[in-house]
Amino acid sequence: MQQAKGRYANLALMLFVITLFQFTCLFSLISKAQEEYTLGIIITFGIYILVEYAYLLGARLILGRRGFEVELIAFLLTSIGLSITLSVYPDKAFKQLVAILIGIGGFIFLQWLMRDLKRAVALRVPAAFLAVGLLVFTLIFARFTNGAKNWLYIGGLSIQPSELVKVAFIFVGAATLEKLQSNKSLTKFIIFAVGCVGTLFLMYDFGTALIFFFTFIVISFMRSGDIRTIFLVCAVALMGAVLVLVFRPYVANRFISYGHAWEYFDTSGFQQTRTMIYSASGGLFGVGLGNGKLRDVFAATEDLVFGVVCEEFGMILAAAALLSYVALLVYSIRHSKYARSSFYAICACAASALMLFQAALNVLGVNDILPMTGVTLPFISRGGSSVISCWMLLAFIKAVDRSTYRYGGERQ
């Protein structure tokens, strides 16, 4: 009883701090916004906070949920991203809010779907065909944007299908390997993974392809534990990457400034050098929301958003954001050993590992420690497809906790 009270007290403190941060950001946005955007910013942020509290209260009072650590982390990170988006692009406030609400809806829907384990596992084949079909459709009909053919434009909307396929990729992998430990089941997943990663390579979306491949390694190793098979797959993938560079040498030109950003200060290294300069200028506590200079650089709210967080919010909050991704992985590992099924354990660990790996690619890329791949920072980067995907991936992490679902019987 005492432990439960302590947990509730910690969650209440977390919620209080997050709400205080949100209102601080809102007041800062209002004070700096043009008069024509003020009302839109207030409505957007107000709706977001109301939805946040409606979910938390509904889950606690109606569904009887007890732990909300995962959701609070997501609400905090999303608040940071929404604040930056409203500050730089106040005219896109409603669009970003709609994406967030769709993501939260997807989060709730996936929790419901995975409540019935048999139903979830039965959907793995349709999900696999849908995922591959969506990627092939994108390959055929998408147009090149920033060097990659990964965006679909429908009317006035732009969609990045590969972000949504991340959800299906983990779902299919975990469902396929949930019970079958044979080489046959692993082979099926390898074929599916090769189809997804290969299509992404044809789109020149190398950052996302790398994320998919890393996720494949995590899922395969968790279920099979066969290090030799994993090494074999990695070796084949490395050979494939080398062949791409040999027969398509122009691909390497995309990474020509890697490790030499300062030598290309005003050309291909422009974004990385500005990110490093302005990130350091923010100090521990930042220059204040809306007062940064990195916001004027192309893709500041997408690829370079971590630099904006460092500059305007400070290194302390930026470090806390990075530790949040680590916390999600630790949470998944901690609860996996008590999971009702290996399906939930694989889903949670794969989803949290994917987010942490993607965050590492983003942060290390914009600081020229790794090649810049153009992947987003989970929950924080602006973009509808990205934020929807992140919230749906969060459902996998949430599902591993035994308190998420009420059920009878023993662990399967």
Specify whether the CB–CB gap between 166 and 354 falls below 8 A.
yes
Pairwise CA distance, residues 371 & 49, whole Å: 37
The 3-state DSSP composition of the chain as helix, strand, coil percent (nearest 5) reads: 75, 5, 25
Pick the most confident of 261-270, 350-359, 395-404: 350-359
Question: Is residue 251 predicted with pLDDT exceeding 60?
Answer: no
CA 299 to mean position of chain CA atoms: 17
Q: Which residue has the tokens 């459709």?
A: 137
* Most confident of the ranges 7-21, 254-268, 357-371: 357-371
Contact predicate 136/126, CB 8 Å: no
How many angstroms separate the CA atoms of 304 and 389, rounded? 19
Cα-atom radius of gyration of the chain, to the nearest Å? Answer: 21
Sheet architecture: strand order including 143-145:
143-145, 148-154, 157-159
pLDDT at 271 over 50: yes
In degrees to the nearest 10, what's the CA dihedral of 52, 375, 344, 101?
20
The arithmetic mean of pLDDT across residues 13-30, rounded, is 93
The C-alpha angle 339, 344, 349, rounded to 5 degrees, equals 100
pLDDT of 220 reads 79
Cα 164 from Cα 175, distance rounded (Å)? 17
pLDDT bin (cut points 50, 70, 90) of residue 238 is low
Region of poorest pLDDT, from 6-10, 43-47, 204-208: 6-10
Q: 180-233, pLDDT tens digit by residue?
A: 555 566 778 888 888 898 888 888 888 898 899 889 888 877 766 666 666 656
Indicate whether 166 pLDDT > 90: yes
Q: Is 42 helix (H, G, I), strand (E, B) or coil?
A: helix
In angstroms, the CA 81 to CA 342 distance is: 33
Short-list 182, 187, 150, CA closest to 166: 150
Nearest to 386 by CA among 177, 96, 31: 96
Better-scored residue on pLDDT, 404 or 160: 160
Asked if 8 and 56 count as a contact pair (C-beta separation under 8 A), the reply is no
Report the alpha-carbon distance of residue 310 to residue 333 in Å, rounded: 29
Position 410 scores a pLDDT of 38
- Residue at 381: amino acid letter: S
Q: Please tell me which residue, 355 or 412, carries the higher pLDDT value.
A: 355
Specify the 3-state DSSP secondary structure of 153: strand
Distance CA 64, CA 340 (A): 19
Please say if the pLDDT value at position 179 is more than 70: no
pTM comes to 0.91
Chain length of the chain: 412
Dump pLDDT digits (tens) for 287-339: 999 999 999 999 899 999 999 999 999 999 999 999 999 999 999 999 988 88
> What would the mean pLDDT of 246-265 be, rounded to a whole number?
68
Q: How confident is the model at residue 412 (pLDDT cuts 50, 70, 90)?
A: very low
Asked which of 116-130, 278-292, 301-315 is least confident by mean pLDDT, the reply is 116-130
C-alpha 237/C-alpha 222 separation (Å) is 19
pLDDT of residue 72: 95
Cβ contacts of residue 142 below 8 Å, gap of 6+? 149, 150, 151, 152, 203
CB 56 within 8 A of CB 300: no
Q: Residue 301 is which amino acid?
A: T
Q: What is the pLDDT of residue 41?
A: 92
Distance from chain centroid for Cα 285: 25
- Which residue bears the tokens 């299509």? 199
Tell me the one-letter amino acid at 24: T
Give residue 5's pLDDT. 62
Is residue 25 very low, low, confident or very high in pLDDT (cuts 50, 70, 90)?
very high
| Inter-axis angle of helices 35-61 and 93-115, nearest 10 | 10
User: Confidence band (pLDDT; 50, 70, 90) for 265?
Assistant: confident
| pLDDT, the chain, mean | 85
Range with the poorest average pLDDT among 204-208, 394-398, 401-405: 401-405
The lowest-confidence range among 14-23, 211-220, 254-263, 377-386 is: 254-263
Supply the pLDDT for residue 408. Answer: 42
φ, ψ at 150 (rounded to 5°): -130, 15
% of the chain beyond a pLDDT of 70: 85
Domain spans of the chain, in order of start: 2-403
* pLDDT > 50? residue 411: no
Q: By mean pLDDT, which of 135-144, 147-156, 231-240, 330-339 is the weakest?
A: 231-240
CA distances from 107 to 26, 112, 159, 206 (A): 25, 9, 19, 27
What is the H or E stretch that residue 152 is in?
A: strand 148-154
Q: Which residue has the higher pLDDT, 209 or 103?
A: 103
Q: Which region holds residue 33: left if phi is over 0, alpha if psi is between -120 and 50, else beta?
A: beta
pLDDT band at 261 (very low <50, low <70, confident <90, very high): confident
Say how far apart CA 42 and CA 111 lie, in whole Å. 30
The answer to whether 353 touches 218, Cβ cutoff 8 Å, is yes
Mean pLDDT along residues 105-132: 91
